[in-house]
Chain A
Amino acid sequence: MHPIRKKRLTIVLFLLAGLSIAVALTTYALRQNINLFYDPSQISAGEAPVDVRIRAGGMVEQGSVVRDTESLKVEFRVTDFSHSVPVEYVGILPDLFAEGQGIVAMGRLNNQGRFVADQVLAKHDENYMPPEVADALEKASKSNGSATAGGAKPATY
């Protein structure tokens, strides 16, 4: 083969090799690390897989936060005003965590239907509503007619 052609071929092969390694790594890692979002209604209806790392979100139900005084364990319920799901978490909650706030939690659903969170996210702005939560609330309020309990409504953002 002509030396220049040969060189080009090597270059192309290098590029292809790099690209395929990247693609292989990416797909492998993607398959393991995609976290799907479920809202409280879906979880109550049993649509969410058990013991798989997922994200769940909604509003923290008024009056549902129970804090263990001897450890960092916290229990609360997350609601979309049509269904609610019990959540437990051990650790420090974000500054903006409060009853009536929209949150997103990462964790696993156990077989008693409790969501064991390893991470709770409440965003940096008190007017902010996680988009997933806003969607979930909208969906739930549609299926419920106009019932929005608790006086809270999805913030416009």
Chain B
Amino acid sequence: MYPELGQLALILALLLAVLLSVVPLVGSLTGRDNLQAFARPLASGVFVFIGLSFAILTHAFLTDDFSVAYVANNSNSLLPWYFKFSAVWGGHEGSLLLWILMLSGWTMAVAVFSRRLPAVMISQVLSILGMVSVGFMLFIIVTSNPFDRLLPNVPMDGADLNPLLQDFGLIVHPPMLYMGYVGFSVAFAFAIAALINGRLDAAWARWSRPWTTVAWAFLSVGIALGSWWAYYELGWGGWWFWDPVENASLLPWLSGTALMHSLAVTEKRGVFKSWTVLLAIVTFSLSLLGTFLVRSGVLTSVHAFASDPERGTFLLVLLAVTIIASLTLYAFRAPVVHVRSRYGSFSREIFLLLNNVLLVSATLLVAVGTLYPLVLDFLDMGRLSIGEPFFNLTFSPLAIAAGLLMGVGVFSRWKKTDAGWLARKLLWPLAVSVLISTAVMVGYGGFTPWAFLGIFTSVWVTTATFWDLWDKSASRKGRIHGLKRQSRSYYGMVFGHLGLAITMAGATVVSNYGIERDVRMVPGDVAELGDYQVVFKEIGERRGPNFTAQYGSFDVLLDGKLVSELHPEKRQYAVAMSVMTEADIDGGLFRDIFVAVGERISDDAWAIRIQYKPLIRWLWLGALFMATGGFLAVSDRRYRIREPVARSTTKPVSDPTDVQGAAGAVS
């Protein structure tokens, strides 16, 4: 009974979404306020029914309703309740339902938090979000219904959740990631609405900025959680594999970062408008591309569930329609850039432009590396793979360049910066950075050019950021007053940039100074790991709720003193008949010690992987800093204060009646 209600709720939500995508839009184009007034109630309606549908699916999982095919395939009565809960998004259908739940949640949030926006804008934004919802709801109802029943042959028990997914990581990683992915739809909707009514101005940039920033912050956390999960759960200690699925999440992050910076310029200085709009379209398209790559089954990985060609085609059509429609609109409506404000060739504008060039180059590069093998395979021109070295070789220089530029950029001023003044400003931070990074290199023992560049860049960003903070907080009323006077969005930037520096430091140090050893050990053996010794004490048996495990015991010693005891496991899951390696990690801010049990080589000998991972936590700590920065920036008071109806001095850049040809738009 309940599952049918869930299905019904889903269909009702679809109908409401269809209304949402038509009625307010028509109202806004014909100027009928009574139609526009439907936007908010319809947005709430979609959210309520999707929420209901999601709640019913969750109920089916928690009550072990194996008559529902999706539950039977992804759950088991022995599963602990919290994994039953997270199993809701452990498979294809449920994860799509989560996607739509997020989308309707974002739509709802726009409806609630945009009271101050003109009715025309809000109606159009909500209508466009409604259209995106329609596409995905059709997809789920037509190809991936989570409420399909297995009647009358109801299985006795479920096939169990993939053991890899029975982990805390699954509970938090997908929702965070989806919040980010889907959140870019808001920036997209604002961009499209601005194109439709020709209002590409500073006010538009101000409205879309906080949404973009929040989506970006969630995506940062989502990616970091994924990396952390891969590290302790399936990666045997690796943290980024340049796997197509990981790249799929990195692509919108990179272009979203570019978008965030370009929006800043558009808001503050009224330039780069067309570019910003294009970035908003591209970023959401990349989110959709990611969804397509992961959900269509063109990729095979832990993320790609059982695939079905119909699904891939549907998603590809959805992706194509979105991209073609929005780019066509862009070509016709993007304003001719009337640059009213001047900026010199050495200004903050230019530094942010360079930032965009680097980020977009990085996006293209990752896209090429990810899509090239897929396209070739699709055209039947051979199977090949592009390995990690490709990405490391091409991505690292761009990341370092972006970091070096960032240090200079924070000192620069809008409009015009005096080059000589800037050079003098940079002298001390530069000297300090060289000193510190040399000291760090000596500390870790061993010089390589890449390690130096990476460490120098992160120290440089840190020094420059603090130097600028020190400069700006100078005040006659004292330092504390000066610090308090800075805006939250400035602190947002400080945190964001420090976060990047922290992540870069972690990535550089762990890649260059980490130690990985695969050794054959019998109980009693001691293996050297840098300054540490790992003692293999014994291996026994242990029984978990739905698995049995070989349970190893290891001592980690430093200079003969016990640092920690680790218990890595090798689990056999009975229902799914699969084996899982559970590593055990002694984590710390400055280093992790990682022990995992491999296979049994002979009666008493085992293959053991031991790793020393310096600063690995910094990778994810940096992402947390970045996300904190994002949330700080959004809480800035200028987004909260009520402004008098904006009478901007600059008129809307392009008149809706003045339809620009494609050729005109490029100029």
Taking Cβ atoms with an 8 Å cutoff, the residues of A that contact B are 3-4, 7, 10-11, 14-15, 17-19, 21-22, 25-26, 28-30, 32-37, 53, 55, 67-72, 90-93, 95-97, 106, 123-126, 128, 130-132, 135, 157
Which of B390, B570, B579 has the most chain A CB atoms closer than 10 A to its own CB? B390
Q: Give A112 Cβ to nearest chain B Cβ, in Å.
A: 25
A sample of 11 cross-chain residue pairs with beta-carbon separation below 8 angstroms, ordered by A number, consists of: A19-B357, A34-B384, A35-B387, A36-B383, A36-B384, A92-B596, A95-B578, A95-B580, A96-B579, A124-B301, A126-B577
Contacts between the two chains (Cβ within 8 Å), count: 126
Contact residues in A for B342 (Cβ distance below 8 Å): 3
Q: Give B605 Cβ to nearest chain A Cβ, in Å.
A: 7
B579 contacts A131, C-beta separation under 8 Å? no
B578 contacts A96, C-beta separation under 8 Å? yes
Docked pose: A90 CA to B164 CA in angstroms: 25
A33-B387, A96-B578 known; A18-B345 Cβ under 8 A: no
Q: Which secondary structure dominates where chain B touches chain A?
A: mixed
Scan residues 219-273 of chain B and give those whose CB is less than 8 A from a CB of chain A.
234, 236
Total interface residues on B, using CB and 8 Å? 54
Contact residues in B for A96 (Cβ distance below 8 Å): 578-579
Which 3 A-B residue pairings sit nearest by Cβ, starting from the closest?
A: A18-B357, A92-B598, A22-B361
Docked pose: A71 CA to B357 CA in angstroms: 50
Docked pose: A67 CA to B357 CA in angstroms: 52
A4-B339, A7-B345, A92-B607 known; A22-B364 Cβ under 8 A: yes
A124 contacts B162, C-beta separation under 8 Å? yes
Contact residues in B for A17 (Cβ distance below 8 Å): 357
B384 contacts A14, C-beta separation under 8 Å? no
Contact residues in A for B234 (Cβ distance below 8 Å): 124
Q: Does B114 contact A (CB under 8 A)?
A: no
B390: which of A33, A37, A128, A157 is its contact (CB, 8 Å)? A33
A29-B389, A95-B580, A132-B383 known; A69-B605 Cβ under 8 A: yes
Q: Does B300 contact A (CB under 8 A)?
A: yes
Docked pose: A19 CA to B339 CA in angstroms: 24
Docked pose: A155 CA to B528 CA in angstroms: 43
Q: Give A111 Cβ to nearest chain B Cβ, in Å.
A: 23
Contact residues in A for B306 (Cβ distance below 8 Å): 157
Docked pose: A94 CA to B361 CA in angstroms: 35
Q: Does B386 contact A (CB under 8 A)?
A: yes
Docked pose: A90 CA to B339 CA in angstroms: 62
Q: Give A99 Cβ to nearest chain B Cβ, in Å.
A: 13
A36 contacts B390, C-beta separation under 8 Å? no
Docked pose: A76 CA to B384 CA in angstroms: 23
Q: Give B332 Cβ to nearest chain A Cβ, in Å.
A: 21
B386 contacts A25, C-beta separation under 8 Å? no
Map CB proximity to A onto B351-371 as digits: 1 under 8 Å, 0 otherwise: 001100110111011001100
Docked pose: A81 CA to B607 CA in angstroms: 30
Q: Give B515 Cβ to nearest chain A Cβ, in Å.
A: 15
Q: Give B608 Cβ to nearest chain A Cβ, in Å.
A: 8
Docked pose: A131 CA to B393 CA in angstroms: 28
A21-B361, A126-B577, A130-B300 known; A93-B599 Cβ under 8 A: yes
Scan residues 601-660 of chain B and give those whose CB is less than 8 A from a CB of chain A.
601-602, 605, 607, 609
Q: Give A86 Cβ to nearest chain B Cβ, in Å.
A: 20
Docked pose: A120 CA to B570 CA in angstroms: 19
A26 contacts B365, C-beta separation under 8 Å? yes
B518: which of A35, A55, A92, A125 is its contact (CB, 8 Å)? A92
Closest to A22 in B: B361
A95: which of B300, B398, B579, B609 is its contact (CB, 8 Å)? B579
Docked pose: A106 CA to B577 CA in angstroms: 27
Contact residues in A for B605 (Cβ distance below 8 Å): 69
Docked pose: A11 CA to B605 CA in angstroms: 63
Contact residues in A for B372 (Cβ distance below 8 Å): 30
Known: A22-B361, A26-B368, A72-B607; 16 extra A-B contacts, CB below 8 A, are: A7-B339, A7-B343, A11-B353, A18-B360, A18-B361, A19-B364, A22-B365, A22-B398, A29-B394, A30-B390, A33-B386, A95-B570, A123-B300, A125-B162, A132-B383, A157-B307
